[in-house]
Amino acid sequence: MMSKFTRRDFLKLGGLSLGSMAFSPRLTGMSGFDDRNLVRVATDSISVHSQPNDESRIVSTWFRDELVNVYEEIVADEPTYNPVWYRVWGGYMHRARLQKVKILYNDILPSLAEGERRLVEVTVPFTEPWRVSKAFGWQKLGFRLYFGSVHWVEAIEDGPKGQLWYRIYDDLTGFPYHIDTMHVKPISLDTLTPITPEVEVQHKRIEVNLTTQTLTALEYENQVFQTEISSGLPYGPRGANGLSTKTPEGEFRIQDKMPAKHMGDGNLFADADDYELPGVPWTCFFTKQGHAFHGTYWHENFGVPMSHGCINMRTEEAKWLFRWAVPPHEIGKTYNRGYGTLVRIHY
């Protein structure tokens, strides 16, 4: 049975500070914690305002990865595209760069066959990965794995303090690292099965309207799904690869699908300010340059451009699209490639 505690109970039981969240205690008989009104600061800093608008007085500031209790959601007048504010201690915070999180502890997989990989999802605000080498022993890496991110477990091994940890396969670097088994939940295989697989590829289509920042999925020209998205920034700085951050217009097809993708430079010792996004969930690539639909754990600001060129989606909605779009995902494979669903992107 999963046990529910408040954030205060969680910190009291473990004698923890927010900064040590990644090494929370193992409590006998406890398989999970659940904080329903907790958000993580998902950017450098966010101000608390005296009223739910940007023009009001700044009361205080919270910084990256700090956790904030939310007392109430407020629908204000502005900004019109995302008018939700959170009432917190001392005032109000706009939700754009806040991530709703929980603290859910999980049981370890009973076993993992040699050569088998299992998908897991992070269920705590963040967990800190470690790697081990003969030269340096155990080292904590520079980045964190955040709530809602998805990763491949490839082995169960002794961790830095002797307890069993998961060894994680990293598709970008090829270097494995380890995380606490309690901080991730194995993803049920029955939640990965294709949606409407009987509908042939020529009868499915994805429409992305960059003006309205919406995505629509159609079968036989009938709408079956629609949501807000965040496309690429039209005038963002070009990356090291020279690519524009603007989402390309035109007709494309889903080419590759990866349930977990490490996006970034592959620097295992990058700090929080670097572009390093391990475990981007439910990724469907539609260009050879790497543009994709995928889940998003670093903002809640859908309806306006936010990305480096990809189509940001809410994670559960990206998972739906991943299951619905062709080619179908083959359980256990790190990627699937094929002639996929038609994608039209336009203004």
* Bond into 327 cis (ω within 30): yes
Q: Check residue 240 and give its pLDDT.
A: 66
Helix (H, G, I), strand (E, B) or coil at 321: helix
Q: How confident is the model at residue 14 (pLDDT cuts 50, 70, 90)?
A: very low
Each residue of 162-205: pLDDT tens digit?
Answer: 999 999 999 999 899 999 999 999 999 999 999 999 999 999 99
Q: For 282, left (φ over 0), alpha (ψ -120 to 50), or beta?
A: left
Mean pLDDT (the chain) is: 89
Cα-atom radius of gyration of the chain, to the nearest Å? Answer: 21
Helix (H, G, I), strand (E, B) or coil at 256: strand
Q: Check residue 82 and give its pLDDT.
A: 95
Which secondary-structure segment (H or E) carries 222? strand 222-228
Q: Is the dihedral of CA 6, 316, 48, 125 positive or negative?
A: positive
Q: How far apart are CA 274 and CA 267, in angstroms?
A: 9
Q: Classify burial at 191, counting beta carbons within 10 Å of its beta carbon; exposed 0-12, middle 13-18, buried 19 or more.
A: exposed
Mean pLDDT of 76-101: 96
Q: Check residue 35 and give its pLDDT.
A: 64
User: Given the DSSP bridges, would you call strands 311-313 and 292-295 parallel, antiparallel or unpaired?
Assistant: parallel
Lowest mean pLDDT of 23-32, 178-187, 201-210, name the range.
Answer: 23-32
Q: Check residue 264 and give its pLDDT.
A: 86
Mean pLDDT of 10-36: 43
Q: How confident is the model at residue 133 (pLDDT cuts 50, 70, 90)?
A: very high
Q: How far apart are CA 131 and CA 185, in angstroms?
A: 20
Q: Which two tokens stand for residue 337?
A: 């490639």
Domain span(s) for CATH 2.40.440.10 in the chain: 191-346
Q: Which two tokens stand for residue 157?
A: 């091994």
Would you say residue 2 has pLDDT above 70?
A: no
Q: Check residue 46 and give its pLDDT.
A: 98
Domain span(s) for CATH 2.30.30.40 in the chain: 7-101
Please enumerate, as own/partner, the contacts of 247-250 that have beta carbons within 8 Å and a separation of 24 or more: 247/208, 247/210, 247/291, 247/305, 247/307, 247/309, 247/310, 247/311, 247/345, 248/287, 248/291, 248/309, 248/345, 249/210, 249/345, 249/346, 249/347, 250/344, 250/345
Q: Which fold has domain 118-188?
A: SH3 type barrels. (2.30.30)
CATH 3.40.640.10 fits 191-346, yes or no: no
Q: Check residue 255 and give its pLDDT.
A: 95
Q: How far apart are CA 38 and CA 36, in angstroms?
A: 6
Each residue of 227-236: pLDDT tens digit?
Answer: 999 999 998 7
Q: Check residue 271 and give its pLDDT.
A: 64
Count of H-run helices and E-run strands, the chain: 2, 27
Would you say residue 11 has pLDDT above 50?
A: no
Please enumerate, as own/partner, the contacts of 188-196 that have beta carbons within 8 Å and a separation of 24 or more: 189/331, 191/319, 192/119, 192/259, 192/323, 192/329, 192/331, 193/323, 194/323, 194/324, 194/328, 194/329, 195/320, 195/323, 195/324, 196/224, 196/324
CATH architecture of the domain covering 7-101: Roll (2.30)
Each residue of 104-130: pLDDT tens digit?
Answer: 999 999 999 999 999 999 999 999 999
Placement of tokens 């999980």 in the chain: 106
Q: Check residue 97 and give its pLDDT.
A: 97
User: Given the DSSP bridges, would you call strands 38-41 and 67-69 parallel, antiparallel or unpaired?
Assistant: antiparallel
Each residue of 282-329: pLDDT tens digit?
Answer: 999 999 999 999 999 999 999 999 999 999 999 999 999 999 999 999
User: Given the DSSP bridges, would you call strands 256-264 and 250-253 parallel, antiparallel or unpaired?
Assistant: unpaired
Q: Which residue(s) pair with 62 in the sheet?
A: 46
Q: Which residue(s) pair with 85 in the sheet?
A: 74, 94
Q: Check residue 3 and give its pLDDT.
A: 39
Each residue of 38-75: pLDDT tens digit?
Answer: 999 999 999 999 999 999 999 999 999 999 999 999 99
Each residue of 235-285: pLDDT tens digit?
Answer: 877 766 778 999 999 999 999 999 999 998 887 776 666 678 999 999 999
Reported as half-sphere exposure (CB side, CA atoms, 13 A), residue 345 has a value of: 25
